[in-house]
Amino acid sequence: MRTAIIQITFSTLCIPIITISLALAVQNSGGSNAINGTTWQLVKYKDFDDRVFTPDDKSKYTIKFGKDGRVVARVDCNRASSSWKVTSKGELQFGSWSRTSTKCASGSLHDVIVDEGQNVRNFEIKDGHLFLWGMTKGGYYELEPVK
């Protein structure tokens, strides 16, 4: 195991806390790491102004890190997919995202979380929850495992 600061390049999804070292084995997506083969749903998003947004239905905001190096996401009425890997430096990197661009219904968190989500740079798993953060303006996403 080695200690690493995990970074995310998140171009479409939405989802994030303070830079903290995370002890884990750092390997590519085909190897063993903390998020390989996991699926998460949004608990809340706290923006740079400390406003907290919670989804009306957590299952409408999900991200799945496939063991095959693919990631798929649902952001309310839209879907996205890309490739992913954890580098030897402990950075989480995504390839180019493909996504739908449907206008979601009133009350959706889509526009709130997608805009800042593309700037996520770091993650940590703490107390069973995934935190994504590192956006230029600040804020974070908190997700829980999908059961």
pLDDT digits (tens, 9 = 90+) for 35-53: 999 999 999 999 989 999 9
Average pLDDT estimate for 15-30: 34
Report domain 2-145's class: mainly beta
Provide the pLDDT for residue 29.
Answer: 46
- Name, in order, each residue with C-beta under 8 angstroms of 99's C-beta and a sequence gap of 6 or more: 12, 78, 79, 80, 81
pTM: 0.75
Provide the pLDDT for residue 98.
Answer: 87
Q: Is the pLDDT of residue 97 over 50?
A: yes
Q: Look at 146 and 90; give whichever has higher pLDDT.
A: 146
Least confident of 45-54, 58-67, 91-100: 91-100
3-state secondary structure string, 70-99? EEEEEECCEEEEEEEEECCCCEEEECCCEE
Q: Is the pLDDT of residue 18 over 70?
A: no
Provide the pLDDT for residue 117.
Answer: 66
Domain boundaries, the chain: 2-145
For residue range 99-145, list pLDDT tens digits in order.
899 999 999 999 888 766 666 667 789 999 998 887 778 889 999 99
Going along the chain, which residue ranges are E strands? 2-4, 7-8, 22-24, 38-46, 52-53, 61-65, 70-75, 78-86, 91-94, 98-99, 122-126, 129-133, 140-145
**Which single residue is written with the structure tokens 């608990």?**
43
